[in-house]
Structure 1
Amino acid sequence: MGAKKIGKQTVRLNEGVRIMSVASTVSKKESEGPLGKYFDKIIEDSMFGEKSWELAESHFIRENMELVVQKAGLKMKDMDYLLCGDLLNQCTASTFGTVDFQIPFFGLYGACSTMGESMSLGAMLIDGGFANYTLVGASSHFCGAEKQFRAPLSLGNQRPPTATWTVTGDGAAVLAKKGNFPCIMEITTGKIVDMGITDANNMGAAMAPAAVDVLVNHFKDTGRTPQDYDVIATGDLGEVGRSLVVALMKKEGYTMDGRYTDCGIEIFDKNAQDTHSGGSGCACSAVTFCAYFYPKLMNGEIGRMLFIPTGALHSPTSSQQGQNIPGIAHAVVIEGCGEKEARK
């Protein structure tokens, strides 16, 4: 264990854990954005034929996880562990979406950082010799999230400019020991960071300090800088959160240049689609990575990527009681296929 630990928060995997396949299933609004042509499946009806938004989210999960295992050329019985989560109370979307799979299950709650958490833990299980294949993912649903964390859509509340639009969909990946696929090489696990933000309509401000904390500690642990990566993508900070990260990182002595983006900015056209600050939700970073960044890692266009899903660790209860909204972020170093793969 000691040989794998680098610095305070980072671990380096022995040979890298392969991302064997990915899949992304989204709703109509996501398909109308800049990444529309990259998604595997587009469901025109966000209810997915179900009686509630919550059941619809479970349907997204079930459909997409079946797809990603199929794309890997495997079956559910080949999966040693399933790790996933969502935004609903007690992660019920994941529970009901995967109950029929009958795979040993770790239900995760990292809020919108859940894709980073599931990839991190799924890779550690394989690197530690506890699994050959792990199925990892994260989901969210705009209507379910609004109802739970802010207000039912039927109230017609006006959304402030700082608000983000929760992505409806599911992103999933199959991780494996071997194969010519992009590799998870290092993991920097984030800490809970609370800077006193209480506005549930400003997720970017709540999560940006956590992103900065994990970035700074990752660079200290590895001795790298932002310029050692072809792409750095945070999870769902949107325009507001990204600008905060750039400003806060500058104070720490790091320049976040054009290679730094945010999945919440990539997935929507904020002006044409009226998404204000951008995208959010567990599915935001999950589907953006699977649909947009993974192919670039496969074809060698991206040699080394720092993927940092971010999450706001609050609940309806904590918000109603006036508590702060702490943030969390998890960093995953992924090296691509092609000429740049061997670069360290």
Structure 2
Amino acid sequence: MAEKRIGLQTVKLLNPPSIIGAYTIVGPKEGEGPLKDYFDVVLEDDMWGQESFEKSEVKIQEEAIKGAILKANLSPNDIQYIFSGDLLNQISTSSYTARQLNIAYFGLYGACSTMIESLSLGSMVIDGGFADKVVCATSSHFSSAERQFRFPLEYGSQRPFSSQWTVTGAGATVISSSGNGPYITYITTGKIMDFGIKDTNNMGGAMAPAAIDTISQHFKDTGYTPDDYDLIITGDLGLVGKKIVLELMKKSGYDLSKNYSDCGIKIFDGVEQDTHAGGSGCGCVAVVLNGYIYKEMLKKNLNRVLVVATGALHSPITVLQGESIPGIAHAITVDNLID
């Protein structure tokens, strides 16, 4: 009997795992943005002494995981599982990272929703009694993502104003069966939504329907309303996607105007840093969650947050074949207090 399932898509965790360690590493551009003081490490250059952007991303994710484990006053031997993924072909960054850490590994792909996908599954494993301590992580790198999904930087292609800037960074979270919070209390798993958008420079428009569907279903399943949250934040919809979410959620009877934001908007100063519609990438929600949100929750400035990570589940091949871009959104409630 699925006693922990409520509604259509939500799980209420009866033994909510506690976040006991979090760590973030970001690139130079992210370190110049409005959230710079919340990150643990800001790189002076995005190569970080490596031979390629891809190898740099591996190092960034590996060091973020090690940092989170250290913050939790643990060693890698204390961790039962890694749940991680990234944007590169066959989640190569996460697999090469796990190769170095000698911890049982689940590789995941949810595009930019991967951070919350990993925390969802990791939390279920802990709540189910299958592990006591798990690390969840993801990463992205502007330069590696650009040449895989769009054009090599040397090409110098023009970026339309609906485009977003892939975050260079990694975030890692250690969750435990015991701890003093914040706790992960609810998980709402998203469904694929596809409204036919084919423009890879309009990720906000492609992913917004999935965010709307998941947020609406979360409220229906839990009985919560927007007023029950100090902050409702999507992963990387940017300016375009945020506008769509606000308008359509209001038409559905949910006014998010007081407490809704987006990680892709918060991480950059769109005017001063010329990031057009904002930030994106797996690392976007990962560093905002493990940096800004986590630290504000420790200070009790935020007590209940709905984090909704969004992902565009396309590939360079499917786009070249004329396919549209499927979207997904996964949500968790992060709470300082549990029933």
Asked if Structure 1 and Structure 2 have the same fold, meaning a TM-score greater than 0.5 normalized by the shorter chain, the answer is: yes
Q: Could you state the TM-score of these two structures normalised by the residue count of structure 2? A: 0.99
* Mapping for residues 1-344 of structure 1, pairs under 5 Å: 1-336=1-336, 341-342=337-338
Task: For 2:45 and 2:301, locate their aligned partners in 1 and report how far apart those are by CA, in whole Å.
Answer: 34
Q: Which runs of 5+ in 2 are unaligned?
A: none
Does the aligned pair in 2 maintain the 1:61–1:98 contact within 8 Å?
Answer: no
What secondary structure, in the 3-state scheme, does the structure 2 residue paired with 1:129 have?
A: coil
Q: CA deviation at 1:149?
A: 0.5
Q: Could you state the TM-score of these two structures normalised by the residue count of structure 1? A: 0.97
Structure 1 segments, 4+ long, off by >3 Å, are: none
Please list the CA deviations of residues 2-51 of structure 1 after superposition, one character each: whole Å capped at 9, or x if unmatched: 21000000000013110111000011000000011110011111011111
Q: Is the deviation greater in 295-304 or in 54-63? A: 295-304
**Amino acid of the structure 1 residue aligned with 2:277:** S
Task: For 1:40 and 1:224, locate their aligned partners in 2 and report how far apart those are by CA, in whole Å.
Answer: 33
Does the aligned pair in 2 maintain the 1:79–1:134 contact within 8 Å?
Answer: yes
**Amino acid of the structure 1 residue aligned with 2:26:** V
Task: For 1:210 and 1:97, locate their aligned partners in 2 and report how far apart those are by CA, in whole Å.
Answer: 30
Does the aligned pair in 1 maintain the 2:38–2:295 contact within 8 Å?
Answer: no
Does the aligned pair in 1 maintain the 2:181–2:335 contact within 8 Å?
Answer: no
Task: For 1:248 and 1:106, locate their aligned partners in 2 and report how far apart those are by CA, in whole Å.
Answer: 35
Task: For 1:196 and 1:80, locate their aligned partners in 2 and report how far apart those are by CA, in whole Å.
Answer: 41
Please list the CA deviations of residues 144-180 of structure 1 after superposition, one character each: whole Å capped at 9, or x if unmatched: 1110001011000010000000000100000001111
- Equivalent pairs: percent with the same residue? 52
Task: For 1:258 and 1:21, locate their aligned partners in 2 and report how far apart those are by CA, in whole Å.
Answer: 30
Q: CA deviation at 1:320?
A: 0.8
What secondary structure, in the 3-state scheme, does the structure 2 residue paired with 1:323 have?
A: coil
Q: CA deviation at 1:55?
A: 0.7
Q: CA deviation at 1:98?
A: 2.3
Please list the CA deviations of residues 266-315 of structure 1 after superposition, one character each: whole Å capped at 9, or x if unmatched: 00000100000000000000000111010111121111110011000000
Please list the CA deviations of residues 89-120 of structure 1 after superposition, one character each: whole Å capped at 9, or x if unmatched: 10001111221111110001000000010000
Task: For 2:111 and 2:63, locate their aligned partners in 1 and report how far apart those are by CA, in whole Å.
Answer: 21
Task: For 1:2 and 1:96, locate their aligned partners in 2 and report how far apart those are by CA, in whole Å.
Answer: 36
What secondary structure, in the 3-state scheme, does the structure 1 residue paired with 2:3 have?
A: coil
Task: For 2:248 and 2:151, locate their aligned partners in 1 and report how far apart those are by CA, in whole Å.
Answer: 31
What secondary structure, in the 3-state scheme, does the structure 2 residue paired with 1:286 have?
A: helix
- The count of residues paired between Structure 1 and Structure 2 equals 339
Task: For 1:116 and 1:284, locate their aligned partners in 2 and report how far apart those are by CA, in whole Å.
Answer: 12
Task: For 1:296 and 1:36, locate their aligned partners in 2 and report how far apart those are by CA, in whole Å.
Answer: 14
